[in-house]
Amino acid sequence: MKKKSPLSPKLPEKLQSLTLSTLSDYDEFAERKIASCDLSEQKAKNVLIEECLLQRITFTSARLPNLQLRDVRFENCDISVTFLESCRLRRVELISCRLLGAQMLSAEMDDVLFKDCNLERAVFVSAKAKHIRFEKCLLPNATFEGAELENTTFDRCDLSHTDFRNVKFKNADLRGSTLDGMQIDAKAVKGVIISPAQAVQMVSLLGLIVQDDDHISYE
């Protein structure tokens, strides 16, 4: 089964450069290239960004609830410890970004690519996502508890101790990823695709014990 990729952002060929130092409620940005800006600890709700390229932006510890992103590409941005509750992402790419501890509770995501990103301890609790791809990403201790993940791929990712409890999976592909210590329940496993090499490990994660028949004794 071939792993599918999300739709790419629709970006104009020419983007006007823009430098930002602050964000305000209900700000809107379109068809812009925004680079090398420090927006850490900014607080703004209902910001709309569409058809934009963001490079080397620092959002560390910003609070941006209800952020809306459409046709946006992030490159080498730091989004660590950023509060993004109820954000909406459609056709978005995040390339070589840091999202350590990012809070994306109740996020809605459609056609989103995370590539070469560090998402350690990121929070996707109760997120609703379709056509999402995590490629060569670090997700140790991230949590997706209660999320709905449809057509989601984790390709060559580190899912060590990632929390998938109470997740509703539909066509989720975990082949090629590290599952050490991953938390998942039997109900969630029904919608997961794994490789034969991962099968024994998945059984162990579910608390089952696999032994050869040679260990059976009869009295």
Give the per-residue pLDDT at 200: 60
Give the per-residue pLDDT at 42: 97
Structure tokens at 91: 């056709």
Give the per-residue pLDDT at 2: 55
Structure tokens at 166: 């109470």
Comparison of pLDDT for 112 and 4, the residue scoring more = 112
Span 66-79, mean pLDDT?
98
Domain ranges of the chain: 25-209
Give the per-residue pLDDT at 194: 79
Give the per-residue pLDDT at 185: 81
Span 38-66, mean pLDDT?
98
Q: How many CA atoms lie within 13 A of 112 on its CB side?
A: 25
The CATH code for residues 25-209 is 2.160.20.80
Average pLDDT for the chain: 90
Q: Is the dihedral of CA 75, 78, 81, 82 positive or negative?
A: negative
Q: 127 - beta bridge partners?
A: none
User: Tens of pLDDT along 170-206?
Assistant: 889 989 898 888 888 877 777 688 777 776 666 666 6
CA-nearest of 89, 69, 83 to 39 is: 83
